[in-house]
Amino acid sequence: MSTVEKTATDAEIEAGLPRPCGYKILIALPKAEDTYESGIVKADVVRKQEEIATVIGLVLELGSEAYKDKDKFSAGPWCKEGDYVIIRAYSGTRFKLYGTEYRLINDDTIEGVVTDPRGYSRV
């Protein structure tokens, strides 16, 4: 039996996203490019693999306890909503909503913050 993914409005997507609990952070993953730099179209399986193995994410929301441990985060939060961050590939709780993959990760798993996420790829 095949499933057909429902297309959704931005409002439906926003309403459907979970609110991160405790020290969790909600991350959106970027869509992979459809073509290589040479212009050759990527196979669907390649594009999908790039999307799920990405090391870049967009911080959508911080849980209520994220970065509250003053001993662990004495210099303050490592990131904020709207930041692009480097995370480990396949990290966190992975889930899809209307065909797009998201992650819930721990606050201490942020590896770095980047200004421009374009050009980054997993090695």
pLDDT digits (tens, 9 = 90+) for 61-71: 999 999 999 99
Residue 54: the pLDDT is 85
The one-character DSSP state at 77 is -
Kindly state the average pLDDT of the residues 74-83: 96
* Domain boundaries of the chain, sorted by first residue: 17-114
Task: Summarize pLDDT for 8-38 with one digit per residue, the tens.
Answer: 888 888 889 999 999 999 999 877 666 777 8
Kindly state the average pLDDT of the residues 111-115: 95
In CATH, which of 3.40.50.300, 1.10.3720.10, 2.30.33.40, 3.20.20.110 is domain 17-114? 2.30.33.40
pLDDT above 90 (res 6)? no
What DSSP string describes 33-46? PSB-TTSPBPPHHH
123 compared with 95, residue with greater pLDDT:
95
Q: Which has the closest alpha carbon to 79: 57, 51, 48, 102?
A: 57
pLDDT above 60 (res 3)? no
Backbone angles phi, psi at 30, to 5 degrees: -75, 155
pTM (predicted TM-score): 0.82
